[in-house]
Amino acid sequence: MTSKYNPLVHRFANFVVAWTVLLFVAGALVTSNDAALSVPDWPKSFGTWFPTLSMLAGGAFFEHSHRVIAGILGVLVVIEVVLIWTKDDRRWLRWFGVIAIGGIVVQAILGGEVVRQLLHYWLPVLHACFGQIMFGALLGMAVFTSKWWMTDRPQLSDSGSPSIHAVTIANAEVIFLQVVLGAGFRHQEIPIWPHMVGALAVLGVVIWTAVVMRKRFGNSPEMTRARMLLHAIFGIQFLLGFGAYWSRLATVGAAQPMPVMIWLTVIHTVVGAILFAFSILIVLMVFRLVPRRGTVAAHEPRQVAV
């Protein structure tokens, strides 16, 4: 690694990731409160950029808050990319940041089309899923600017099959498919059962990934922490899924939406986003620590752990 670690850039990148989590909370509150289309126009709200509180009664407050937080995120990402261009000499990371800005623009347009097209054409699902992809990209920028990533690290040897790279990528792909199924159910495009089947598939791939990491890299503290956190996050998410579904069944006869259903669903949605992002983090960790087959390790042979 030739670039010098810059704590300002990394800390700001971490702040952007945290702000993105806040955006997920705001978006989940819109859906859980049935507040979609509470503001009928876009990009303005009720014909103005700064609506009064009296104009934001009911669900309009959640919808407009989501837009404001998203707009601030766009500004934060631009600032982050400017910092990378001025403080970091890695050309690929600079252009990765530019692509991230383009992704934010696309996500904003998708959000606008959700309103303009009145929630039709699977646009809410596409908007939700592309948001997860952007979360992964922003997390990647935080990782790439970290001291951990930019410091020489002992390389690990992988002789198993399939490779740990393939295993962790498959883990991330299955979790993302579950994100799609969850968004489809949440936006009433598909029934619940595909999402339930997907949860079992994620359970299987998470266990497989963790077992492979333990057997092949049991002596690596980084891999050990990663697999333990993967288990913990998925376990919490699995329980939250049961809780969110139970809350829907338990409040069928009550005036909707009920607070218990709202908050369980919001937390379940946000933790699901964190689980997917963590699966991306594991992929990045593996590619950083384990040389791919057919490539030469970047460090001296004495640093390779067998």
Residues 120 and 189 in one domain: no
Distance CA 74, CA 80 (A): 10
pLDDT average, residue stretch 53-62: 88
pTM (global) more than 0.85? yes
Q: CA-CA distance, 139 to 131, in Å (whole number)?
A: 12
Are 63 and 36 a contacting pair, CB within 8 Å? Answer: yes
**Which own/partner pairs from 289-295 qualify as long-range (CB within 8 Å, at least 24 positions apart)?**
289/153, 289/154, 289/155, 289/156, 289/220, 289/222, 289/223, 290/155, 290/156, 290/157, 290/158, 290/164, 290/165, 290/217, 291/155, 292/163, 292/165, 293/158, 293/163
Give the end of a domain, one of 117, 151, 185: 151
Of 247, 283, 250, nearest to 263 by C-alpha is 247
Whether 29 and 129 share a structural domain = yes
**CA dist., res. 244 & res. 219, Å (int):** 38
Which region, left, alpha or beta, applies to residue 37 given φ > 0 means left and ψ of -120 to 50 means alpha? left
Do 196 and 277 have their domain in common? yes
Does residue 163 share a domain with residue 146? no
Contacts of 56 (CB under 8 A, 6+ apart): 45, 64
* Beta-bridge partners for 305: 156
Query: Which of 97, 99, 125 lies closest to 110, judged by CA?
Result: 125
Residue-level length of the chain:
306
Per-residue model confidence as pLDDT tens digits over 233-248 = 999 999 999 998 888 8
Q: Which comes out higher in pLDDT, residue 292 or 127? A: 127
Domain end marker among 131, 151, 171: 151
Q: What is the pLDDT of residue 295?
A: 58
Whether 223 and 98 map to the same domain: the answer is: no
pLDDT (tens digit, 9 = 90+) per residue, 74-116? 999 999 999 999 999 999 999 999 999 999 999 999 999 999 8
Q: In terms of domains, do 15 and 160 share one?
A: no
Is 75 found in the same domain as 186? no
Indicate the Cα dihedral angle 17, 98, 28, 242, nearest 10°: -70
Confidence band (pLDDT; 50, 70, 90) for 258?
confident
Domain match, 188 and 289 both: yes
Same domain as 142, residue 207 = no
Rounded CA-CA distance 205/227 in Å is 12
Contact residues for 87 (Cβ-Cβ < 8 A; gap 6+): 6, 8, 9
The boundaries of the domain holding residue 191 are: 152-306
Give one DSSP letter per residue of 178-213, joined into a string: HHHHHHHHHTTSS-SHHHHHHHHHHHHHHHHHHHHH
In terms of domains, do 220 and 295 share one? yes
8-state DSSP, 20: H
- End-of-domain residue from the set 119, 151, 183: 151
> What mean pLDDT do residues 275-284 have?
96
* 140 and 177, same domain (yes or no): no
Give mean pLDDT, residues 164-191. 94
Q: Total domain count for the chain? A: 2
Shared-domain flag, residues 274 and 178: yes
